[in-house]
Amino acid sequence: MIRLVRPFEISTSDLIYPIFVREDGRKFEIPSMKGQEYLSLNDAVSTCQKAVDLGVPAVMIFGVIKGKDADGSVALKEDAFHLKIFKKLKAEFGENLVLISNVCLCDFTKDEYCVYTENGKVQNEKTAKMLGKIAAVQAEAGADIIAPAAMADGQVRHIRSALDKLGFGDVAIMSYIKTDSCLFKPFFSAMSQSAASRVGVDSSKFRVDVINEKMFMQKVDLDVGEGADMVIVKPALTNLDLIVRVKHEYPLLPVAAYQVSGEYAMLKLLTEHAHFDEDTLVMETLNSIKRAGADMVLTYYALHVAALIKGSLKTG
């Protein structure tokens, strides 16, 4: 009867698996995210095959490249690693797997900022234009969804127009709206190549104040107004109220939530050091995110949970 009266249950179709693909081809456990691995391009194919076999519809792709440059133009080169990833995965999986591209300058620039800055000021237009160029070449290589992560004003507008100009009207934009959070830390260590401290603009200032829901909703309004097809609320756990709010104000807008690296680390720590049952814990968090209104959840547990759902109803 409990199952009968339940309004929803997290299903495999709700899950998006984030993967880290390394240009140097080395496969090893990500030190800051125990249980998750860096993948080579070939490993990425087998991991994506697992996702397809388990019924997980989409992956979020993070490329870890060998050489970053000053302005990130390495992203636009014909032999750019990200383009190889999309070409390879699109050729292998076609329409059986949705390829989402995390598009941000920090993946390509030596200073690892998400935006261009000048004298301590964020250059929104310049950043947005470059993100548009990156989105266009990645769509051409096979990305199905562009997920701009820089939080730059104008980024969605520039990406939409760059995509449309080249005839990629069917490539969707899924825009990140992030609150500032210490929960991103394990991810930053996973993606960062430099241990150099950043000078100039504090990158936490690009994100929305963690307690200011007005700023958050202004960002949502801006991105939706510029043509975002979906938004990602990030992190999930500390923003459940904001997921409710977005869903309330935009009932027709698909909303994703990102259970980020710090949330993943918390669950792992509870499991390993406080003897919680990992499956029960993970399902409770994912169901709470879903109940808040998320249509999709990005989680490092995606494959684990899909296998769990497929294999048994024990956590039901």
- Shortest distance, position 29 Cβ to Zn ion, whole Å: 23
- Looking at the Cβ atoms of 104 and 122, the one nearer to Zn ion is 104
Q: Shortest approach of Zn ion to residue 251 CB, angstroms?
A: 30
Residues 234, 247, 268, 290: which is the catalytic one? 234
Complex with Zn ion: residue 82 or 290, whichever CB lies closer: 82
CB of 104 to Zn ion, least distance (A): 3
Shortest distance in whole angstroms from residue 44 CB to Zn ion = 20
Residues between 189 and 208 that touch Zn ion (CB under 5 A): none
Active site residue 68: no
Binding mask 19-58 for Zn ion (x = CB under 5 A): ----------------------------------------
Following DSSP, what letter does each residue of the chain receive, concatenated? -HHHH-S----GGGEEEEEEEETT----B-TTSTT-BEE-HHHHHHHHHHHHHHT--EEEEEEE-S--BSSSGGGGSTT-HHHHHHHHHHHHHGGGSEEEEEE-GGGTBTT--SS-EETTEE-HHHHHHHHHHHHHHHHHHT-SEEEE-S--TTHHHHHHHHHHHTT-TTSEEEEEEEB--GGGHHHHHHH----PPP-SS-GGGGSBPTT-HHHHHHHHHHHHHHT-SEEEEESSGGGHHHHHHHHHH-TTS-EEEEE-HHHHHHHHHHHHHS---HHHHHHHHHHHHHHHT-SEEEETTHHHHHHHHHH--TT-
* Minimum CB distance to Zn ion smaller for 128 or for 149: 149
> What b-and-e string marks burial along 146-158, b requiring 16 or more CB atoms within 10 Å of the CB?
bbbbbbbbbbbbb
- Total interface residues for Zn ion by CB under 5 A: 4
Given the residues 178, 219, 247, 268, select the one marked as catalytic. 178
Between CA 145 and CA 154, with CA 151 as vertex, the angle to 5 degrees is: 80
For the bound state, the minimum distance from the C-beta of residue 267 to Zn ion, rounded and expressed in Å, comes to 24
Residues near 297 by beta carbon (within 8 Å), at least 6 away in sequence: 10, 14, 15, 16, 236, 256, 257, 258, 259, 286, 289, 290
Print the binding letters for residues 95-134 with Zn ion: x by CB under 5 A, - otherwise: ---------x-x-------x--------------------
Question: CA–CA distance from 93 to each of 48, 63, 88, 149, 308 (Å)?
Answer: 8, 18, 9, 25, 23
Shortest Å, Cβ 106 to Zn ion: 3
Residue 149 or 308: which CB sits closer to Zn ion? 149
- 147-166: which residues touch Zn ion (CB under 5 A)? 149
Which CB atom, from 207 or from 247, has the smaller least distance to Zn ion? Answer: 207
Any catalytic annotation for residue 110? no
Q: Which is nearer to Zn ion, 14 or 223 (CB)?
A: 223
Nearer to Zn ion, 160 or 207 (CB): 207
Smallest gap from residue 21 Cβ to Zn ion (A):
16
Catalytic sites, residue numbers = 178, 234
Q: Which residues bind Zn ion (CB under 5 A)?
A: 104, 106, 114, 149
